Every structure is written in structure tokens, then in C-alpha cells.
Amino acid sequence: MELLQDLNWRYAVKKYKSDKVDEEKVDQILNAINLTASSCGLQPYRLFVITNEGLKLKLKAESFNGQIAESSHLLVFAAYNKITTQNVQDLVSLTSQVKNVSIESLNGLFVSIDSFFKSRTDEQNRHWAEKQTYIALGTALIAAANLRVDATPMEGFDPELFDNLLGLEKKGLHSTVILSLGYRDEANDYLANTEKARIPLEEMVHKIN
């Protein structure tokens, strides 16, 4: 399976060359992200794709992850702060259009999803939205590797700074995880030629027959 080769090829690049990634390839990665499986179909996150050098430098700030500023593209995955009735209405409206059925016929769907999120705290729903975001991160990593675009998923950044500089709070979003895209500088990246360390499959998986 080519996917196994892609997953073996990728690693979290520490040092990038200055080469830029073609917008066409970036758009393929973004399209893949938008097709990611999403519970209830809610897609409770938005993506910010940053090539502006000044902004990337400001976002890097004190982070130990130089890739924030030094990569070709920086993707910021920003999850919803809460799940609102409006979010569920938007989903129902989209579903009605795409599937060519009336909004009224989707009322059962609306009530079940809306009441589910209302039965939980905003904190629980925020946590849920973050987990959904990580499915999209998984897709992005595979899409990039498939196109032989290097990538570094990062949690080591200042989320408050990101939220401020990107104006996320007033959009009802918060920065959750980030991903740089670019091309590995093989000669200067100490991680470029080391073996991938993974536990044996027998340790990861327990089969119950």
C-alpha cells in the first residue's frame, strides 16, 4: 500500500529549505482536509494558511519551533470554542441544499444533534471540537506526504498569541494545533536520516477473536 510508504517517508521536519510549495499542491492538501470525516458532519474548525513572512515571524515569537517562521506555509487549525444552535442550523441548511431535501424533513436530525450538544458543557464541546480537528490534522499529514511535501505538526506554540494575532476570539475560534509545510533541508536537519521509532505492532494491537 502506497500509504505505508508515504507514512514511512514523512517525519516531523526540524529544518526547512527556503523553497516554496506550489499553491496547487497546497490547495490539494486543503481540499483533502475539507473532505475529512467529521462527527455529525459539523466540521467544527477553520483553517488559516499563512505565507506572510512578517506575520509568521510574529507568531514564532519565543517558540522553540523555528519552523513556524521558516517553512513555506503555516497552517493553523482553529477549533470552535463552543457548539451553537446556529452551527447546527447551518449544517442542516447545507445538508438540505446538497441532498436536495426540505429543511423540515431534517427537523429530527436538527433536534437530535442540537439537543446532544446542549446536554453537555461548553468545555466538553470545546474538547470535542479539538479532537475532531485532530482527525483533519491526520488527513493533512497524509495528503502532504502523498505529494512529497514535508510537514511538521506542532503543539509547541503560544495559543494566546496566535488567537490575538489572527483575531480568532471574535470568530469563536481558538488555535488548536499548527502544521508547517515546505521541503526538508536534509543536510542540516539532524532528524532527516534517523530511523522512525515505533512500538512493535503486537504491542499496539490486541486482537480479540
Q: How many CA atoms lie within 13 A of 23 on its CB side?
A: 3
* Nearest CB to a second copy, comparing residues 15 and 132: 132
Q: Which amino acid is at 194?
A: T
* Cα-based angle 156, 144, 81 (whole degrees, multiple of 5): 45
d(CA 120, CA 170): 23
Nearer to a second copy, 118 or 198 (CB): 198
Smallest separation (angstroms) from a second copy to the CB of 81: 15
Question: Smallest gap, in angstroms, from Cβ of residue 58 to a second copy?
Answer: 12
Nearer to a second copy, 85 or 120 (CB): 120
Q: Which is nearer to a second copy, 17 or 144 (CB)?
A: 144
Are the C-beta atoms of 31 and 47 separated by less than 8 Å? no
Least distance between a second copy and beta carbon 203 (Å)? 8
Minimum Å gap between C-beta 201 and a second copy is 5
Give min distance, CB of 182 to a second copy, in A.
16
Judged by the rule CB under 8 A, the positions of this chain that interact with a second copy are 1-4, 7-8, 10, 12, 27-28, 30-37, 39, 41, 43, 46-52, 55, 91, 94-95, 98-99, 127, 130-139, 141-143, 146-147, 153, 155, 166, 177, 194-199, 201, 204-209
Q: Which is nearer to a second copy, 84 or 95 (CB)?
A: 95
d(CA 145, CA 149): 6
Burial of 177 (0-12, 13-18, 19+ CB in 10 A): buried
Query: Using an 8 Å Cβ cutoff, are 79 and 173 in contact?
Result: yes
Burial class (CB in 10 A: 0-12, 13-18, 19+), 52: exposed
